[in-house]
Amino acid sequence: MERDDNISEKIMNGTIFLPKELIIEILLRLPVKSLIRFKCMCKSWISLISDPYFALSHFELTTQHTERLVVLVPRTRQFLSIDFNASLHDDFSFSALKLEFLPPKPCETQIRGSCRGFVLLDCCQSLWVWNPSTGDHKQVSRSPIASSVMFFIFLYGFGYDPSTDDYLVVQASCNIYGVIRVEIFSIRTNAWKEMEGVHLSKMNNWNDRRNGFLLDGANAIHWLTYRYHVSIHFILAFDLIERNFSEVPLPVGFEEHYNFNFCDLGVLGESLSLCVVGYHCPAEIWVMKEYKVQSSWTKTIVVSVDHIPSKYFSLVCSTKSGDIVGIAGTAGLVKCNDQGQLQELQHHCDPPNGSQVVVYTKSLLSLPFDNEQVEDD
């Protein structure tokens, strides 16, 4: 970081003369944190780094994105950013995030998903799309169906459609008669639209709200859910490009051998994952190595309950070194190696109060609607 600052100062004071094209190429290869600091250097750099085309080029050029965790502590409504590749005991891996745009407490706040550097928040019956790196945010209007007292939202999803360069919020609602309606909010058009011809059978309890998991390589959002009329669990997928639903098979025999009350869906690396925990039994982590191929489900890691200070373990992500990070019940944030052995435990997340965790990518990206405003100015 100090080296980046020294170079920028020399360029600014004229000690180093570089063509504008070369300066752009250098800046495109710097981390987001450095670029945000460099916006204070001069007006030309503010204009360049704030340009949506520069942000997109920077995002696409970066081969290894900087990923962090956003942790919400409900009791204080504090948001933390955590570098999960660093030690959980390193104070420098934690930083507080400011969200001055949210309504004041006591409104309950929930994290609903993340995509390309943006995090979807649910607060006071409103949704917010927020970039933790830049602080940019947008409020999503309440949908017509969700505004009805007859329908209850039970599925949330957030993703990106590369074919239209649009961010989508997906939500499914159900009434007491089992009628399901699906709505999609387009950031680009700033409007909700109900999907027609959707035939989904009753799933979950109406008060069991589930967040979807985005798999970038498949351009799809996924939920682990339950089909009531046949008492079967399944993975529901929503294709963000084709705008349709399909199912992803569970491992062979999974329904018969596991208790789904302690099963979580997630994404590990570039693959769908399942983390299943039995009472006083090890936590097993399964990974689908080839998308939608049932035989590709592989049990990869077994975490012994003797190694974690809780009987419940929920997988969050994996580090660059192959360690796994998860929430261990009321114990806190934990890190285990690829053998399932506990490496670190961090109580900082205040887990007894139901802390929420999501992985996000540091980026300078802005939303399509904001891009159009910049171009019009």
From first to last of the 377 residues of the chain, give the pLDDT tens digit.
Answer: 555 556 555 555 555 667 888 888 888 988 898 898 888 777 888 888 889 999 999 998 876 778 899 888 777 788 989 999 999 888 888 889 988 888 877 678 899 999 999 999 998 888 999 999 999 999 998 898 877 768 888 899 999 999 999 999 999 988 888 788 999 999 999 999 999 988 887 676 555 788 999 999 999 999 998 877 777 888 999 999 999 999 999 999 887 777 666 788 999 989 999 998 876 678 889 999 999 999 999 999 888 767 676 667 788 999 989 999 988 776 678 898 888 888 888 875 654 455 789 999 999 999 986 555 444 44
Q: How far apart are CA 143 and CA 192, in angstroms?
A: 6
Q: What is the pLDDT of residue 100?
A: 85
Q: How far apart are CA 116 and CA 168, in angstroms?
A: 12
Q: What is the pLDDT of residue 370?
A: 58
Calculate the alpha carbon distances from 139 to 101, 122, 238, 367, 369 in Å.
Answer: 9, 10, 23, 12, 12
**Angle, nearest 10°, between helix axes 52-61 and 20-27?**
60
Sorted by where each begins, the domain ranges of the chain are 2-61, 69-97+252-355, 107-248
Peptide bond into 106 cis (omega under 30): yes
Token digits of residue 45: 């750099």
Q: How far apart are CA 270 and CA 288, in angstroms?
A: 9
Calculate the alpha carbon distances from 168 to 35, 187, 218, 224, 303 in Å.
Answer: 27, 6, 15, 20, 35
Answer positive or negative: Cα dihedral of 186, 192, 194, 200: positive
Give the strand pairing for 210-211 and 152-161: parallel
* Nearest of 50, 104, 87 to residue 345 by alpha carbon: 87
Q: What is the pLDDT of residue 374?
A: 42
Does the domain formed by 107-248 have CATH 3.40.50.300? Answer: no
Q: What is the pLDDT of residue 348?
A: 59
Q: How far apart are CA 371 and CA 369, in angstroms?
A: 5
> In 3-state terms, the chain is what percent helix, strand and coil (to 5)?
20, 40, 40
What backbone torsions phi and psi does residue 5 show, to the nearest 5 degrees? -65, -40
Q: What is the pLDDT of residue 377?
A: 46
Residue type, 284: E
**DSSP H helices in 13-130:** 20-27, 32-38, 43-50, 52-61
Q: What is the pLDDT of residue 107?
A: 78
What backbone torsions phi and psi does residue 363 show, to the nearest 5 degrees? -155, 160
Give the strand pairing for 271-277 and 263-268: antiparallel
What backbone torsions phi and psi does residue 130 show, to the nearest 5 degrees? -135, 135
Task: Say if CB 296 and CB 285 are below 8 A apart.
Answer: no
Give the strand pairing for 166-174 and 152-161: antiparallel
Residue type, 204: N
Q: What is the pLDDT of residue 262?
A: 77
Q: How far apart are CA 335 and CA 12, in angstroms?
A: 43
Q: How far apart are CA 290 and CA 253, in angstroms?
A: 18
Q: What is the pLDDT of residue 255?
A: 79
